[in-house]
Amino acid sequence: MNEPVEWLPDGTPRSPRFDDIYRSSTGGLEQARHVFLRGCGLPDAWAGRPQWRILETGFGLGLNFLAAWRAWKDDPQRPRMLHFVSSEAWPVCAADLLRSAAPHPELVPLATALAEQWFGLVGGMHRMAFEEGLVLLTLFVGDVKAALRQQPFNADSIFLDGFDPQGNAAMWELPTLKAVARHCRRGTRLATWTVAGEVRRGLTQCGFVVEKAQGLAPKRHCLRAEFAPAWQPKGLRPETTIVPGHCAIVGSGLAGASVAASLARRGWRVTVLDEADAPAAGASSLPVGLLAPHFSVDDNLLSRLSRSGVRATLQQARMLLRQGQDWQASGVLEHRFRDLPGVPRNAGAMAASAPQAAQDWSRGADAQQKAAAFLDPDAVAFWHQQAGWIKPAALVRAWLAQPGIRWRGNVRVGRLLCADGGWGLFDARGGELERADLVVIAAGVATADLLEGRLELQPVRGQVSWGIRDAQQRLPPFPVNGNGHFIPDVPLGDMAAWYCGASYGRGETDLAPRKADHQENLSRLGSLLPAVEQQLVGAFSTRAVKAWTGVRCASIDRRPLLGELAPGLWVSTAMGSRGMTFAMLCAELLAARVHGEPLPLERRMAAALDALRHRH
């Protein structure tokens, strides 16, 4: 359940858990602006900066974030990007976020956009994107000290917020303040509403110069501070400012196009090179694919990573694609079989008893959903609410159409050479194709040759079977996955098509369609949806079924490879069969590391994607 909020007769929100109000009785927006924004010198302090990073210790009802976002929107001298990083151990429901912002008309559109992304807040990191990705909220659900350990970045402003120290001492104790100080550069300003003596002493001990300032009634004072230690703190992160320059990306599939979009948003001039004559010509030419989180009873690493990836891609689809044409937020039913490893007989009941935040993602399918897929009532099935289908090529084209990106086709990069603080990209004859400050290799299976064997990659051939939908066919109203997948209704010109598959041929690169793979896809469909297989078996036997084939790129452990192999040389590849899930997540992780930004993932999860993780 979400954290309950008690609304007092005068409209003040109160926390029953901490027996304290969420904000001053004068009003939340006034407190956010007077205590926190002005207390940190905002908006003047961020004028002309490429990025500004605010670290907050308690999200609460989100008014500090909404006030900072509103100030950013209203300021012609605003930074290009605004990062807001916060933690919250007890997230409220979306309705309370909206109710809290309702008295302030200028915040209502922002609160509405926040509420639309306020779902599935299980423990851990969640990245929400607004203003076409220029305003990023990174919310950690859990203990504030755990949140601070997961984020390696320097903050420009600190909002020290939380319930009264007497009722919530852990938010204000010295270990928490030390963890906050480790995220400061010299000159970082801090603001808070409390002037409690233990807080002032703790901040001073951590290297802050502290002063009382005029408070917001009924409080006489608030606190302002600046990180200016008289000593050199151990482990202080160096302040690095990356000036965006020219980036060359090799490969214009999902992996390369997503990186291009992420870096272009941050001000890079991006050139994308591909040996094909059109973008998304390789595995990303798949006509349509499923976007759905991976579900496991023990909520394993892949499940957690996939949720972060699905959230990132859904944000992009809603911003850039046409609902119903390029993608559809349909939800996906997952049919599992009781004899599969890791699927206990009571798996559906276990999912149904999970916390509401987890059920926002995946829950046991109900009888009506099973019936719509022609499954028995006792079938083991899950419903993924945050899921649907997407046409990968449409997403690639949308990313490459962003300002600052130039695409070059019919160009084959044969060699990379580090020179003059940058990189040269050359063709097979030694002719220079591009010179760039930053290079990202996202060329699928061709990545291994271009990087001269530094990464171990595996080609995986896949074949999808598809056909034109017949109006007489009775098909499920939503996609179904499990042992293979079935997508029943995808627009194709003035018709609609169904798709099923896909085969998984490790080490194979032949693109010629195979009758045996059609039969394999039909067999998978028979296990997944027996009633649908009976309707389509005739189409398979009369050769009315068509094929798409492609070669995907996978790593040893089937997780993506993302990282810096040499100064200025990065790789983003090995998306396998989950390119739509992982491409944008990896792109944002790459951009964050290049710029020293807050990460979109916890450290341990980011490490699970590191390109060099298999080196001993």
Residue by residue, DSSP assigns 264-308 as HHTT-EEEEE-SSSSSS-SGGG-S-EEE-----TT--HHHHHHHH
DSSP codes, 357-396? HHHTTEEEPPHHHHHHTT--TT-EEEEESS-EEE-HHHHH
Would you say residue 347 has pLDDT above 70?
no
Which pLDDT does position 224 carry in this prediction? 98
| Over residues 39-45, mean pLDDT | 98
| Over residues 52-67, mean pLDDT | 97
Instruction: Read off φ and ψ for residue 105, nearest 5 degrees.
Output: -55, -30
Would you say residue 374 has pLDDT above 70?
yes
Q: Which fold has domain 6-227?
A: Rossmann fold (3.40.50)
| Residue 564, Cβ density class (10 Å: 0-12 exposed, 13-18 middle, ≥19 buried) | middle
| Bridge partners, 566 (sequence order) | 569
pLDDT digits (tens, 9 = 90+) for 430-453: 999 999 999 999 999 999 999 988
| Bridge partners, 125 (sequence order) | 140
Task: Give the DSSP H/E element, type plus range, for residue 447.
Answer: helix 447-450
| Over residues 299-313, mean pLDDT | 97
369 Cβ contact partners less than 8 Å away, ≥ 6 residues apart: 333, 381, 383, 478
Which pLDDT does position 297 carry in this prediction? 86
| CA 559 to chain centroid | 16
**pTM of this prediction?**
0.95
Structure tokens at 456: 């171990």
Which pLDDT does position 616 carry in this prediction? 45
Sign of CA dihedral 361, 556, 560, 327: negative
Would you say residue 67 has pLDDT above 60?
yes
CATH 3.50.50.60 in the chain: give the residue spans: 242-331+387-457+557-616
Which pLDDT does position 356 carry in this prediction? 86
- Considering only CA atoms, give the Rg of the chain: 26
Would you say residue 346 has pLDDT above 60?
no
* Confidence class for position 614, pLDDT limits 50, 70, 90: confident
* Confidence class for position 218, pLDDT limits 50, 70, 90: confident
Q: How far apart are CA 145 and CA 171, in angstroms?
A: 8
Percent of the chain with pLDDT over 90: 85
Other CB atoms within 10 Å distance of the CB of residue 538: 10
Nearest to 399 by CA among 533, 525, 255, 579: 255
Would you say residue 424 has pLDDT above 50?
yes
Helix/strand number for the chain, H first, E second: 18, 32
Which pLDDT does position 25 carry in this prediction? 63
Range from 21-30, 419-428, 483-492, 554-563 carrying the lowest mean pLDDT = 21-30
Q: Looking at domain 242-331+387-457+557-616, does it have CATH number 3.50.50.60?
A: yes
Mean of per-residue pLDDT scores for the chain: 93
Q: How far apart are CA 127 and CA 24, in angstroms?
A: 28
* Confidence class for position 542, pLDDT limits 50, 70, 90: confident
Sign of CA dihedral 50, 54, 60, 64: negative
pLDDT digits (tens, 9 = 90+) for 119-169: 999 999 999 999 999 999 999 999 999 999 999 899 999 999 988 888 888
| Over residues 416-420, mean pLDDT | 90
* Confidence class for position 35, pLDDT limits 50, 70, 90: very high
Task: Give the DSSP H/E element, type plus range, for residue 67.
Answer: helix 63-74
Q: Assess contact for 61 and 22: CB atoms under 8 A.
A: yes
Which pLDDT does position 167 carry in this prediction? 84
Mode of pairing for the β-strands spanning 380-384 and 362-364: antiparallel
| Over residues 527-544, mean pLDDT | 92
